[in-house]
Structure 1
């Protein structure tokens, strides 16, 4: 269910992932060939950033065509770690998550994301995924001697605010799960992209990658591929001289997620949400 890879073979967590594992631990597997190459030109350049590492995430969640599943749950938890000094990909992580309230993926969801039912059936719960991710991140930013490779300045990077402000925050609150505080603020890469290369119109991630002169790699709506392409775009902007800064945080409470029309409930039924209490009172007058 969970996997990661790294270009630095001394990481003990990576060595565990690459060892032959017993059947009950067979979920942890390498996900791609190790490599340490820049995403754009400028190899060896020291980029002037305020962060030592950028953590790029792009969650995939339960979904249905023309309807919203409630509660929506994360089913793929991917992350790509980018070195803030060079733009190199330092490590990558992916974990499939077993949804609790809608355990059977819709055909629309499977076709959109490429995630199979057996992927989530063999997955972990969100709390365990967060713990595995945190262990991977600590290993990826620590030397073999147990010391930090840097002073640990880290920024989460997303394309849009949905991943951290809406999806992860809502599900953790809904399920009573504690998450690491580094997810409480982030860089919405759409903001520096629009400032540097945007023409004023709203573009999606695939269009932004193309505008930057890069080819899209992998499958659209595969969380790991989306995160890797976001990381490539991040590195490209850094090499163009764009200095990254936090664009949003949870300093203000996120909006409450309400059940929209045509919501699919946990029991599979579909119903319109009840009107707010004030509206109900007005209807009674």
Structure 2
């Protein structure tokens, strides 16, 4: 099947994390998949969604809750990574669409956790690193965090930083802005 370039799936992951190294017998795993769809015809954000993923190889630490606002009790009815992958493939045609994230962490984390859990990788081979694109397009000479990019653009992050759906929404805003600039010429 040919690659579909009608929509870009902007993804941001939140994973279990600790102030230092993971405790024995635990490993960082995906606990939230934030998604924002970008319509490539209009260069607008069209949907924002969060998939909570029940951790199976780790527990949500106090540090993780402080960073993400995700608490262990929020995962009582959460699905599995396989469940989220099925939704991404069926409802969003993730195997056939370009997907994007802020940096390569999300891509590498998805690949590693899917392999560790023997879950099918839900995306095709095309990934867009918006962090690198932003650095190259603005000529700043180095990559910056999402909050740094927003400061450079004179914008304010919307929602809660380090929540998957809000971060995906904010990443998509920068992506739309860069793509609009490329189409019409001028400054980001």
- TM-score above 0.5: yes
Tell whether 2:134 aligns with 1:193: yes
TM-score, reference length from structure 2: 0.86
Q: Which has the larger radius of gyration?
A: 1
Runs of 4+ residues deviating >3 angstroms: none
Q: How does 1:142-157 map to 2 (within 5 A)?
A: 154-157=97-100
Tell me how far 1:198 sits from its aligned partner: 3.6
Correspondence for 2:63: 108
Correspondence for 1:10: none
Q: Deviation digits for residues 190-236 of structure 1, max 9, x if unmatched?
A: 22211221421331111112212322111111111110000000011
Instruction: Please give the secondary structure, in 2, of the residue aligned with 1:180.
Output: coil
Tell me, in whole angstroms, the C-alpha distance in 1 between the residues paired with 2:101 and 2:183. Answer: 16
Extract unaligned runs of 5+ from structure 1.
1-49, 142-151, 244-285
Tell me how far 1:86 sits from its aligned partner: 1.2
Tell me how far 1:121 sits from its aligned partner: 2.4
Q: Deviation digits for residues 244-268 of structure 1, max 9, x if unmatched?
A: xxxxxxxxxxxxxxxxxxxxxxxxx
User: Is the 1:53–1:153 contact (alpha carbons within 8 Å) kept by the matching residues of 2?
Assistant: no
Extract unaligned runs of 5+ from structure 2.
none
Tell whether 2:72 aligns with 1:117: yes
Instruction: Please give the secondary structure, in 1, of the residue aligned with 2:92.
Output: helix
Q: How does 1:1-285 map to 2 (within 5 A)?
A: 51-68=5-22, 70-102=26-58, 104-138=59-93, 154-164=97-107, 166-182=108-124, 184-241=125-182
Tell me how far 1:242 sits from its aligned partner: 6.1
TM-score, reference length from structure 1: 0.58
User: Is the 2:101–2:171 contact (alpha carbons within 8 Å) kept by the matching residues of 1?
Assistant: yes
Q: Which structure is higher in helix share?
A: 2
Q: Which has the higher contact order (CA 8 A, sep 6+)?
A: 2
Q: Deviation digits for residues 116-160 of structure 1, max 9, x if unmatched?
A: 21112221111011112223314xx9xxxxxxxxxx972101111
Q: Deviation digits for residues 67-94 of structure 1, max 9, x if unmatched?
A: 2364211000111110012111122221
Cα root mean square deviation, aligned: 2.2
Tell me, in whole angstroms, the C-alpha distance in 1 between the residues paired with 2:183 and 2:97. Answer: 17
